[in-house]
């Protein structure tokens, strides 16, 4: 048993009801698909000489034309609606106010800031760290295109809001990482604005005795990736990020264990580490190598890759499972520098790419009748945005180095990958059977009943009086549209038959999340800045 607790309890100021009308399942049960293998090979007519075309889309897909620059700006603005803490003077989402200003006080640490990951008022460390990594990667690959759209400064501000918090969480105490603020079960029994919160703000941590290699290594990845972004614009901050990333990775690697085991029901079933922690260790080492160019990290990858999942193919990339993203990232080293030890990662990246290409000999994916990549019913668009980002990033790596992918007898080039990604992005923006944009505030028709407390309740400016734990449920169950538009939020999206219920209670489809938006930022930057 540990000699000290892995959490600090902050007593709530109100008494909670023994029962609550908030009866649906926790809004974070987004378990990635484990070894799902679909043999959808009867797709006649999909082979073309030297070219693969994604032909599962709605008939009008080729006619789409979207304001990608506008969508990019909105996708970044969304993060301001998710901010926790003391809001800055230049806050643009004005219906939000300051919140959770005493976070960490029960442990005598400062954990004010960071992001609420989705539609509730909890700060979950694993998805927040992944969001940070993906925002940084988006800027690393497509930051120049963001600059051309006047959005780079906003993207960097969104990233810094995350890294500032992760630095606090990682440096408050030796061999300790603070990984969560708020007691999730109590939070999910209330429906209230973050500005009114009176639910317990318990603080949870992983330590040498209660390890969490998954969340720690992901935090290291996020800090290391961000250090690349700020290397030129803020060298001192970049150095601090990299130095902390190194320390957190060492902690993750030395004290191995899953944070799901250490924190149990606090993080499960909300954000269990279903894939374990090996994928995060390899992911974290890869980002530290990218950021530092320290050969010891390449040695670590070469020595440990086979035991950390390098030889295992997986076909989804998410806040939980980093294997595909790691292989795409490491493929860059093989394509650019011909590092022979990384050829394995290029081969496995090719396997992933081919799994998405209909008609190829390695096709594994499932698409809806309208052409949307479909992994599972809960928050499916998280897999679509992450896959789109990987397709575009890999296309960039291939195009820069004259590479291609051999999917059996079919050669797939960068242009083919861009075409597949574009159809996914266009589907999200409105080119789908429902003719609905799944980005809130974009286009003429988008979700009005978003599963999000702050958006669904009157703002503190419109309703200065406090709305308590039970008082908010009238708004949850109201048929009225959300009074505050959470501009730029990408919701969970339609089901496997392209059906979407614009219903606040259907969190599987109507809840947004930071880790859905983060890779979408990079994808939209590409299409905003690249003539098509």
Query: For residue 311, what pLDDT band results from cuts at 50, 70 and 90?
Result: confident
Which of 307-314's residues contact partners 24+ apart within 8 Å by CB, and which partners? Answer: 307/278, 308/278, 308/279, 308/281, 308/282, 309/278, 309/279, 309/282, 310/282, 310/344, 310/345, 310/348, 311/344, 311/348, 313/348, 313/351, 313/352, 314/35, 314/275
Averaged pLDDT of the chain:
88
Report the SS3 class of residue 379: coil
Of 382, 461, 502, 363, nearest in space to 29 by CA? 382
**Mean pLDDT throughout 447-461?**
97
2 DSSP assignment = -
- Report pLDDT for 240: 98
511 is catalytic: yes
pLDDT greater than 70 at residue 299: yes
First-last CA distance in the chain: 59
502 is catalytic: yes
Q: pLDDT for 484-515, tens place per residue?
A: 999 999 999 999 999 999 999 999 999 999 99
**Mean pLDDT throughout 150-177?**
97
DSSP code string of 198-226: -S---EEEEESSS--HHHHHHHHHHHHHH
Report the SS3 class of residue 521: helix
CA-based torsion, 54, 56, 60, 64: positive or negative: negative
Q: How far is CA 415 from the centre of its chain?
A: 25
- Report pLDDT for 43: 28
Q: Which residues, in sequence order, are CB contacts of 5 under 8 Å at separation 6+? A: none
- Report pLDDT for 341: 76
Rounded to whole angstroms, the Cα distance separating 196 from 99 reads 8
pLDDT greater than 50 at residue 16: no
Query: For residue 229, what pLDDT band results from cuts at 50, 70 and 90?
Result: very high
- Report pLDDT for 40: 25
Residue 264 in contact with residue 257, Cβ under 8 Å?
no
Q: pLDDT for 328-340, tens place per residue?
A: 999 998 888 777 7
CATH of domain 7-31+62-529: 1.50.10.10
42 is catalytic: no
Rounded to whole angstroms, the Cα distance separating 471 from 478 reads 12
The catalytically annotated residue of 103, 141, 195, 511 is 511
Residue that has been written with the tokens 């969190």 in this structure: 507
pLDDT greater than 60 at residue 362: yes
- Report pLDDT for 6: 60
- Report pLDDT for 532: 73
The catalytically annotated residue of 426, 451, 452, 495 is 451
- Report pLDDT for 9: 55
Residue 517 CB-density burial (10 A; 0-12 exposed, 13-18 middle, 19+ buried): buried
pLDDT greater than 60 at residue 17: no
Rounded to whole angstroms, the Cα distance separating 37 from 523 reads 26
**Mean pLDDT throughout 347-357?**
94
Q: Which residues, in sequence order, are CB contacts of 77 under 8 Å at separation 6+? A: 92, 93, 154, 487, 488
- Report pLDDT for 464: 95
Residue that has been written with the tokens 């008022």 in this structure: 121
- Report pLDDT for 309: 79
Residue 407 in contact with residue 362, Cβ under 8 Å?
yes
CA 145, 346, 383: angle at the middle one, nearest 5?
60
- pTM, entire model: 0.90
- Report pLDDT for 93: 98
**Mean pLDDT throughout 51-78?**
67
CA 153, 157, 159: angle at the middle one, nearest 5?
115
Rounded to whole angstroms, the Cα distance separating 436 from 433 reads 8
3-class DSSP string for 228-260: HHCCCCCHHHHHHHHHHHHHHHHHHHHCCCCHH
């Amino acid at each position: 048993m540990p000699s000290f607790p892995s959490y600090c309890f902050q007593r709530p100021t109100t008494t909670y009801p023994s029962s609550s009308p908030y009866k649906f399942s926790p809004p974070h049960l987004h378990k990635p698909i484990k070894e799902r293998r679909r043999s959808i090979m009867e797709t006649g007519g999909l082979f073309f000489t030297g070219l693969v075309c994604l032909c599962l889309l709605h008939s009008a897909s080729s006619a789409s034309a979207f304001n990608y620059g506008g969508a990019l700006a909105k996708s970044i603005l969304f993060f301001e609606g998710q901010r926790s803490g003391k809001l800055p003077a230049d806050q643009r989402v004005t219906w939000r106010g300051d919140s959770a200003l005493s976070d960490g006080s029960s442990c005598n640490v400062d954990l004010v800031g960071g992001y609420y990951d989705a539609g509730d008022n909890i700060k979950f460390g694993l998805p927040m760290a992944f969001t940070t990594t993906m925002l940084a990667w988006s800027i690393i690959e497509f930051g120049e295109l963001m600059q051309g759209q006047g959005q780079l400064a906003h993207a960097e501000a969104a990233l810094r809001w995350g890294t500032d918090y992760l630095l606090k969480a990682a440096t408050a105490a030796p061999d300790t990482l603070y990984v969560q603020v708020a007691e999730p079960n109590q939070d999910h029994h209330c429906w209230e604005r973050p500005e009114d919160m009176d639910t317990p703000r318990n603080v949870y941590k992983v330590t040498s005795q209660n390890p969490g290699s998954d969340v720690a290594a992901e935090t290291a990845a996020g800090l290391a990736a961000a250090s690349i972004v700020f290397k030129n614009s803020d060298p001192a901050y970049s150095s601090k990020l990299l130095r902390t990333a190194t320390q957190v990775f060492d902690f993750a690697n030395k004290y191995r264990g899953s944070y799901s085991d250490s924190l149990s029901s606090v993080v499960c079933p909300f954000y269990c580490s279903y894939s374990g922690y090996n994928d995060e260790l390899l992911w974290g080492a890869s980002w530290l190598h990218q950021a530092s160019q320290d050969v010891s990290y390449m040695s670590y990858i070469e020595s440990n890759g086979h035991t950390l999942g390098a030889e295992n193919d997986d076909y989804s990339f998410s806040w939980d499972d980093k294997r595909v993203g790691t292989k795409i990232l490491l493929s860059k080293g093989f394509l650019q520098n011909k590092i022979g030890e990384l050829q394995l990662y290029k081969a496995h990246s090719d396997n992933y790419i081919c799994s998405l290409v209909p008609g190829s000999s390695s096709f594994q994916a499932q698409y809806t009748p309208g052409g949307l990549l479909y992994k599972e019913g809960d928050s499916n668009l998280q897999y679509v945005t992450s896959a789109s980002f990987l397709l575009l990033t890999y296309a960039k790596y291939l195009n820069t180095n004259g590479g291609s992918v051999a999917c059996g007898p079919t050669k797939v080039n960068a242009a083919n990958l861009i075409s597949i990604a574009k159809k996914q992005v266009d589907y999200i923006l409105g080119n789908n059977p429902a003719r609905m944009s799944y980005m809130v505030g974009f286009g003429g028709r988008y979700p009005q009943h978003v599963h999000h407390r702050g958006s669904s309740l009157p703002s503190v400016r419109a309703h200065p009086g406090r709305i308590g734990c039970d008082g908010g449920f009238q708004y949850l169950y109201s048929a009225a549209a959300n009074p505050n538009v959470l501009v730029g939020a990408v919701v969970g999206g339609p089901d496997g038959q392209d059906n979407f219920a614009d219903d606040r209670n259907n969190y599987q489809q109507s809840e947004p999340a930071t880790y859905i938006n983060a890779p979408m930022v990079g994808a939209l930057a590409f299409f905003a800045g690249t003539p098509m």
